[in-house]
């Protein structure tokens, strides 16, 4: 029996030991704290940009930041001097607490270590029962086995109460002192080291004297322990206690929303935002909102990118003092693009070898497949250099260029640049794609424009966005930095920044959206202005609304650098000064220019040719004539010449063919209809069908033109050669003759549409 008892006792001891081991191993939950955390957004230097309170109403920041040395030293000195020498329980502290409690006749000290305090906070215990103390001692030893000393300090700092609804060192540092924990002074660090033990001391009133006394006693202990110098000690004593809690910064509300959407469940975001720049842009935004709102413009967005990294360094999703739509992040909202896409088209055409930077493009009233674009000011140059057409944002050259380039190809290029909102087919967009027929976000456009800067500098980027030829990108940026701006954009000359910038504006149909995007080698700034509800504002343009914001933002940025001409991707060639094409045999004046290698395939000058004329140079002649003069002339298409000579009085029209009866005339042209075109005539609101205005031009201003439809005379015109007609459905032949008997004809087809 005795042997059996001994065996049973041994088994019981083993079982008991096993139970204790298992209990010790699994006594701590996997997650020590299940408290909800605030959402925190930090700048590129770890400073607080934005925070939202935790779901339980506490300012409790998620763990993650390192504990500053001053706070750790003060906390250990105040709470647990033997922290690095015990295993979770300090028997020295327990003995000292027992002696103090007996001598005072009440509980004045618990002898708890920092590890035991972490356990108490995780259990959310309030009382001081002996049973709870023993449990905490057991769990504290287990805590020391799972976590390192530094991790235990971090847990304590993240979950300790600091008065009111402030929990954790980081939240306390921002709420009471307005900066991150790493910037705490000795006085601030000791104040926060004391509060978890007596969080009510922070509240105004008589407690503040007690708090000050405790802080100063702790400072003295630290000084005597040589944790701080005498000068640091005296300076710390002179610092006042904090006043009422500070409001936490709310610098990036829309950016926080974006981060939450993209990273659900994440509670701490380290961003590339620059805090001082963001604060200044918020003030700038408020200033401009005052001016814009008086004009009925309530919303705007601003985004700034670092070119080299592609990171967002400032983000103003909307005016903070806007109307009820201020919560809308307009940077992420698709809006009509206006003219803001034109640089991408010119770049694509230049890469394709379709145009050269100074090549002349057509600029006169145009109808293509029923689409009739107009320049913003309804003025036309006849012919204009490509770089000037881009910098002046002329619509006619852009539409004609898109027609040649191809809508489908251009749409693919835009998608390759990262535009994510082109949901319709190329056929649905048509030629209006270049003038605001599509929608894009300020986010996508800012990153797409960045590709010009990275391509021009041949920077290596981590994304898969379309890259431009470096020389083409340089030419586009050079054109957008030029001074040849329309009248409403002349304000740019008042820009007193020292850095050169390339910039483009855009305005959507109905004045609903105003765009301005600018860049140099270091920064991209993109601005959208309008009303989030889509309401248009009379007189609003990208130039007069978004443009001023753009230049004010650049004034806040450090001076950026400009681009170096990428000559390895260019050729130095002889160019016709007048036409902008490669010099031909008959060009009277040429200049040497750098052009992108992709433009070498463009043709030689087609505008200069040698003609045989009479001695006066007024009429064409033949080599067999007795008196013949050969001369080099600059010849433009008749329709282009009609408008070109209005802005270039030096232009001389080519010699006339005379009354020779030639079918083809160099003196006149039919503007509308285009050859073999199909004209759709819609039904009007009153139920009747509309009419079509046919138009012709003539080199001679006083010329009289005679109009024939299917060989039947219609009318004659002088000065303004426009004739409204309503032809029958079917195919027709329009013929126009001038006073010399010269004629020109057009075949076209008319279709009637019953749809109103």
Place of tokens 């001695």: 615
Task: Cite the beta strand spans of 438-545 per DSSP E.
Answer: 439-440, 502-507, 513-519, 523-530
Active-site residue, 226 included: no
DSSP annotation of 752 reads E
Q: Which two tokens stand for residue 210?
A: 């007690």
Q: Which of 90, 314, 339, 656 is catalytic?
A: 339
Residue reference for tokens 């590339």 = 272
Residue 465 CA to residue 417 CA, distance in Å, equals 5
CA distance 75 to 292: 52
339 in catalytic set: yes
* Helix, strand, coil share of the chain (percent; to 5): 40, 20, 40
C-alpha distance from residue 24 to each of 11, 28, 486 (Å): 20, 8, 80
DSSP 228-268: S-HHHHHHHHHSPPP-SPPPPPB--HHHHHHHHHHSTT--E
What CA–CA distance (Å, rounded) separates 516 from 549? 8
**Which one, of 275, 271, 254, lies nearest residue 312 by Cα?**
271
CA dist 494 and 510 (Å) reads 28
Cβ burial of 531 (10 Å; 0-12, 13-18, 19+) is buried
* C-alpha 751 chain-centroid distance: 45
Q: Which strands make up the sheet holding 268-270, listed edge to edge?
A: 48-52, 39-42, 268-270
Is residue 182 within 8 Å of residue 188, measured between CB atoms? no
Q: What is the 3-state secondary structure (H, E, C) of 279-313?
A: HHHHHHHHHHHHHHHCCCCCEEEEEEEECCCCCEE
Query: What are residue 571's phi and psi, to 5 degrees?
Result: -125, 145
The total number of residues written for the chain in this structure:
756
In 3D space, the residue among 139, 137, 174 whose CA is nearest the CA of residue 46 turns out to be 174
- Residue 76 CB-half CA count within 13 A: 19
- Assess contact for 438 and 564: CB atoms under 8 A: no
Out of 79, 136, 154, 475, the active site residue is 79
Q: What is the largest CA-CA distance in the chain?
A: 151
Measured in degrees and rounded to the nearest 5, phi and psi for residue 503 equal -150, 155
Nearest CA to 442 among 394, 489, 376, 508?
508
Query: How far is residue 176's CA from residue 311's CA, in Å, rounded to a whole number?
Result: 31
Q: Are 192 and 184 in contact (CB under 8 A)?
A: yes
Name the β-bridge partners of 463.
Answer: none
Torsion-angle region of 102 (φ positive above 0: left; ψ -120 to 50: alpha; else: beta): alpha
Question: Residue 627: is it exposed, middle or buried by C-beta count within 10 angstroms (0-12/13-18/19+)?
Answer: exposed
Query: Looking at the annotation, which residues are catalytic?
Result: 79, 339
């Amino acid at each position: 029996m005795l042997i059996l008892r001994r065996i049973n006792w041994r088994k019981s001891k083993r079982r008991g030991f096993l139970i204790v081991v298992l209990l010790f191993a699994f006594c701590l939950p996997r997650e020590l704290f299940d408290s909800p955390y605030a959402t925190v957004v930090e700048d590129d230097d770890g400073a607080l940009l934005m925070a939202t309170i935790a779901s339980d109403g506490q300012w409790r920041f998620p763990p993650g930041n390192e504990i500053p040395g001053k706070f750790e030293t003060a906390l250990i000195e105040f709470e647990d001097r033997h922290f690095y020498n015990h295993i979770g329980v300090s028997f020295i502290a327990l003995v000292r607490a027992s002696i103090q409690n007996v001598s005072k006749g009440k509980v004045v000290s618990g002898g708890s270590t920092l590890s035991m305090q972490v356990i108490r906070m995780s259990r959310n215990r309030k009382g001081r029962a002996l049973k709870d103390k023993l449990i905490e001692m057991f769990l504290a030893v287990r805590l020391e086995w799972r976590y390192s000393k530094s991790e235990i300090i971090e847990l304590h700092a993240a979950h300790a109460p600091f008065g009111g609804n402030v929990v954790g060192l980081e939240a306390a540092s921002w709420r009471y002192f307005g900066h991150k924990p790493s910037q705490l002074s000795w006085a601030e660090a000791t104040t926060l080291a004391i509060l978890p033990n007596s969080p009510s001391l922070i509240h105004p009133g008589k407690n503040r004297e007690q708090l000050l006394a405790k802080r100063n006693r702790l400072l003295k202990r630290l000084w005597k322990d040589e944790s701080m110098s005498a000068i640091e000690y005296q300076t710390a004593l002179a610092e006042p206690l904090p006043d009422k809690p500070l409001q936490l910064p709310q610098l990036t509300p829309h950016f926080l929303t974006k981060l939450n959407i993209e990273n659900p469940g994440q509670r701490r975001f380290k961003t590339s935002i620059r805090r001082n720049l963001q604060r200044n842009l918020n003030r700038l935004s408020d200033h401009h909102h005052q001016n814009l709102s008086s004009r009925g413009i309530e919303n705007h967005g601003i985004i700034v990118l670092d070119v080299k990294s592609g990171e967002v360094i400032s983000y103003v999703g909307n005016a903070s003092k806007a109307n009820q739509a201020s919560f809308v992040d307009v940077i992420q909202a698709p809006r009509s693009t206006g003219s803001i896409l034109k640089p991408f088209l010119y770049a694509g055409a230049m890469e394709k070898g379709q145009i050269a930077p100074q090549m002349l493009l057509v600029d006169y009233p145009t109808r293509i497949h029923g689409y009739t674009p107009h320049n913003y000011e309804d003025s036309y140059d006849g012919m204009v250099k490509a770089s000037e057409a881009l910098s002046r944002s002329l619509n006619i050259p852009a539409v004609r260029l898109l027609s040649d380039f191809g809508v489908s190809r251009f749409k693919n290029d835009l998608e390759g640049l990262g535009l994510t909102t082109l949901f319709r087919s190329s056929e649905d967009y048509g030629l209006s794609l270049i003038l605001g027929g599509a929608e894009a976000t300020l986010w996508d456009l800012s990153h797409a424009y960045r590709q010009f800067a990275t391509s021009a500098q041949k920077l290596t980027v981590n994304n898969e966005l379309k890259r431009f030829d470096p020389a083409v990108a340089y030419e586009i940026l050079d054109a957008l930095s030029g001074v040849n701006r329309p009248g409403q954009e002349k304000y740019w000359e008042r820009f007193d920044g020292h850095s050169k910038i390339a910039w483009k504006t855009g305005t959507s149909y109905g004045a609903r959206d105003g765009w301005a995007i600018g860049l140099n080698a270091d920064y991209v700034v993109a601005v959208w202005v309008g009303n989030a509800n889509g309401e248009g504002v009379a007189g609003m343009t990208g130039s007069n609304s978004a443009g001023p914001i753009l230049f004010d933002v650049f004034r806040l940025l450090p001076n950026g650098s400009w681009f170096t001409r990428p000559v390895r991707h260019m050729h130095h060639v002889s160019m016709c000064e007048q036409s902008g094409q490669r010099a031909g045999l008959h060009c009277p004046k040429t200049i040497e220019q750098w052009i992108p290698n992709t433009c070498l395939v463009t043709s030689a000058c087609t505008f200069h040719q040698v003609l045989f004329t009479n001695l006066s140079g007024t009429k064409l002649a033949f080599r067999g004539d007795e008196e013949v003069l050969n001369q080099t002339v600059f010849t433009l298409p008749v329709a282009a010449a009609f408008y070109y000579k209005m802005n270039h009085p030096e232009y001389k029209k080519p010699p006339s063919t005379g009354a020779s009866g030639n079918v083809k005339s160099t003196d006149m042209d039919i503007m509308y209809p285009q050859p073999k075109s199909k004209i759709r005539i819609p039904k009007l609101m009153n139920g009747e069908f509309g009419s079509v205005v046919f138009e012709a031009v003539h080199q001679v201003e006083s010329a009289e033109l005679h109009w024939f439809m299917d060989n039947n005379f219609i009318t004659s015109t002088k000065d303004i050669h426009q004739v409204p007609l309503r032809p029958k459905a079917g195919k027709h032949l329009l013929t126009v003759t001038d006073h010399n008997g010269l004629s020109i004809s057009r075949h076209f087809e008319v279709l009637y549409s019953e749809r109103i």
